[in-house]
Chain A
Amino acid sequence: MSTIVPDKKNAVGAATGARNLAIYLAACLFVGFGLFPLYMMITTSLKTDQQTFAWPPVWLFTPRFQSYYNALFVFGGRSADHYLFNSLVVTLSSSALAVFLGAMAAYGLARFRFRGNRDVAFYILSTRFAPPVGFIVPIYLMVQRSGLLDTQIALIVVYTSMNLSFVTWILRGFFLEIPIEIEEAALVDGYTRWQIFLRVALPLVRPGLAATAILSAIFSWNEFLFASILAPGDAATIPVYLAGFSASMNIDWGEYMAVGTMAVLPIMIFTLALQRHLVRGLTFGAVR
């Protein structure tokens, strides 16, 4: 076969190289665009007022932590740590409750055949059809009558119920993916349904538990509307407290941004901690 045309692989290689570089640059631009506000928030929290308002902007400066000190210790009355703590309690409790209750509901919907199974599943999702603002008045009244206004419990109950529907739906999908034979094997091995749920099914949907926990926590942590109406005072969460800054006459931008930065950190740590459980394919290789 002497007629074979020699290889021109370098030309092909150069073309793909240029294309890759263009894609890479575009991606960098996009990421920079997304991260810029975050960058502004953190740097502003570390600047003096003069530096903050300087034009052209100051890019290099000695960071100072006065704003953080002010936010946590000097302010008269409640300081930021009180509201951060409120947010932490409400977020962790409501997420844990939503994931646990949701997992049980999802398992039931995925594994048991009963009349109206699909209707129930649809009903659970339908609770999220209306905009939450639409039922804020009845909820306010319920909370008020039960004497729970401005308590953490009110927010925990409301957030749990709001998160429950999507947690149930997502986890139902995960449970349906577990091969039924694994659970039947456990049944034959001598386990009860409840134990199969705890010892076989739950470990196998760990990625789903992590995903739903993260989503619930982000929602609860950032929710503003219900928090501002049901718990405007002592039990206020961090978004409500933050909103107070922009309402005041002369905004202390340094402190505002310091509280903002502190509000971002916990949820970021929580998400990063759970992220490693998000790996898919835990059930891979279990059955063929």
Chain B
Amino acid sequence: MPRVEFNRICKTYADGTRAVVDLDLAVADREFLCVLGPSGCGKSSTLRMLAGLESISSGDLVLDGRRINDVPPQARDMAMVFENYALYPHLRVFENIAMPLVARRRPRAEIRERVQQVAETLQIVEYLRQRPQTLSGGQRQRVALGRAIVRRPKMFLMDEPLGHLEAYLRVQLRAELRRLHERLGATTIYITHDQEEAEAVSDRIAVMENGRLQQLGSLVDLLDRPINRFVAEFIGRIPINMLPARLAGDGQNLQVGAAMMPLSGAQSAKLRSGGTDPLTLGIRPEHVALSSGSAGETISGLSGRVRVIEPQGDSTVIIADTPAGRVSALVPSGCVPSAGEVIELHFAMDCAHVFGADNINLLRAARNSE
């Protein structure tokens, strides 16, 4: 049985803004679910409705089989971690972590023991006597986490908890979060706009946009079988290339600029049945290969001029301008062309996505059935 169910949940604000529209989502027990989306997509409203900080306009919110729409926040037994830490500046770290237990009038010995335990888990024992303002951002967020876990709530709700931290600290704390989740085994809902964060910590990712759930699945699902153009563009460390395309007269090739990209039988069948004409080819940079020099020899290649070279370490991103648009390619650092060079770009068409005029991925069903 799922722990939490959103059944056709809507949130409409007084000014008529529809923040969340018909949300159906089930979160399994002990699951770590990320809600991912750009700012204003409705992910914060979703979390706040779950926490009880925001009223629900319509639909049912179900926790452990019980409808909790009208249950006040303090009775829902969930702990929330905020982006800005929300620590009490006038209290020491120990008192900050102890706060939820003090509020529930637990015996003093128990409080001391549980705070100590939490501090050890989070490696903040040596800061217990300090005040939050003397701590670094990473340490503060550990304290905020400590305050959330000391209660042993049913669920954790995390609202961009790493948003304020510098890149390298974020990477460290992601590992800590995942570790914590596995040790505590509590159901966690985590919202973020950063897909690297989502992929690093979560079991499943729910992508939201314009108040609607777009797609729910594992990262690999989202990468390889995006349901629409929005998901394809939002997911992926290096943004996916999107190029205008059209189905060639014979129906066996996709024409991008002057180049013909051969389609598999299943692909071409899918496009011929569902294809409305302005098509967009989506191809991830890791599925683009290069060959240098003489343009026009192979028909499947798109020729382009190298504009930007971005080393990443073992691999390098090449950004080239082609007649069809700007294309990024991820290549091993050993074989990098120089800026200004004319190169041939080859697409691994079996990994391609084609979006119709309504932005739906026309090839998704085809690849699913393979």
Chains A and B touch (C-beta atoms under 8 A apart): yes
B67 contacts A4, CB within 8 Å? yes
A4 contacts B62, CB within 8 Å? yes
B7 contacts A1, CB within 8 Å? yes
B65 contacts A1, CB within 8 Å? yes
**Least Cβ distance of B138 to chain A in Å?**
20
B69 contacts across to A, CB distance below 8 A: 7
Q: How many residues belonging to A are interface residues under a CB distance threshold of 8 Å?
A: 6
B60 contacts A4, CB within 8 Å? yes
The CA-CA distance from A7 to B67 in the complex, in Å, is 10
B70, CB-defined interface residue at 8 Å: yes
**Least Cβ distance of A17 to chain B in Å?**
15
B65 contacts across to A, CB distance below 8 A: 1, 3
Closest to A1 in B: B62
**Least Cβ distance of B366 to chain A in Å?**
35
The CA-CA distance from A7 to B56 in the complex, in Å, is 12
The CA-CA distance from A188 to B326 in the complex, in Å, is 35
**Least Cβ distance of B363 to chain A in Å?**
36
- Chain A residues touching B, majority SS: loop
The CA-CA distance from A7 to B69 in the complex, in Å, is 9
Q: Mark A5-18, 1 if CB is under 8 A from B, else 0.
A: 10100001000000
Closest to B62 in A: A1
The number of residue pairs between A and B whose CB atoms lie closer than 8 Å in the complex comes to: 12
**Least Cβ distance of B193 to chain A in Å?**
14
B159, CB-defined interface residue at 8 Å: no
The CA-CA distance from A7 to B57 in the complex, in Å, is 12
B5, CB-defined interface residue at 8 Å: yes
The CA-CA distance from A5 to B60 in the complex, in Å, is 10
**Least Cβ distance of B359 to chain A in Å?**
31
**Least Cβ distance of B346 to chain A in Å?**
41
**Least Cβ distance of B128 to chain A in Å?**
33
Which of A4, A7, A12 has most chain B Cβ within 10 Å?
Answer: A4
Closest to B5 in A: A1
Closest to A7 in B: B69
The CA-CA distance from A127 to B7 in the complex, in Å, is 65
**Least Cβ distance of B302 to chain A in Å?**
38
B67 contacts across to A, CB distance below 8 A: 4-5
The CA-CA distance from A76 to B74 in the complex, in Å, is 74
**Least Cβ distance of A60 to chain B in Å?**
41
**Least Cβ distance of B309 to chain A in Å?**
30
Q: Which of B53-81 contact A (CB under 8 A)?
A: 60, 62, 65, 67, 69-70
A4 contacts across to B, CB distance below 8 A: 60, 62, 67
**Least Cβ distance of B27 to chain A in Å?**
14
Q: Mark A52-96, 1 if CB is under 8 A from B, else 0.
A: 000000000000000000000000000000000000000000000
Closest to B67 in A: A4
A7 contacts across to B, CB distance below 8 A: 69
The CA-CA distance from A117 to B37 in the complex, in Å, is 48
**Least Cβ distance of A8 to chain B in Å?**
8
B70 contacts A12, CB within 8 Å? yes
The CA-CA distance from A4 to B60 in the complex, in Å, is 9
A1 contacts across to B, CB distance below 8 A: 5, 7, 60, 62, 65
Q: Mark B28-40, 1 if CB is under 8 A from A, else 0.
A: 0000000000000
A12 contacts across to B, CB distance below 8 A: 70
Closest to A8 in B: B70
Q: Mark B66-106, 1 if CB is under 8 A from A, else 0.
A: 01011000000000000000000000000000000000000
The CA-CA distance from A4 to B69 in the complex, in Å, is 11
**Least Cβ distance of A10 to chain B in Å?**
13
Closest to B70 in A: A12
The CA-CA distance from A4 to B62 in the complex, in Å, is 8
The CA-CA distance from A5 to B67 in the complex, in Å, is 7
Given A1-B60, A4-B60, A5-B67, 9 more pairs with CB closer than 8 A = A1-B5, A1-B7, A1-B62, A1-B65, A3-B65, A4-B62, A4-B67, A7-B69, A12-B70
A contact residues vs B (CB 8 Å cutoff): 1, 3-5, 7, 12
* 8 smallest beta-carbon distances between A and B, as pairs: A4-B67, A1-B62, A4-B60, A5-B67, A1-B65, A3-B65, A1-B5, A4-B62
B contact residues vs A (CB 8 Å cutoff): 5, 7, 60, 62, 65, 67, 69-70
> What are 12 A-B pairs at a CB distance below 8 A?
A1-B5, A1-B7, A1-B60, A1-B62, A1-B65, A3-B65, A4-B60, A4-B62, A4-B67, A5-B67, A7-B69, A12-B70
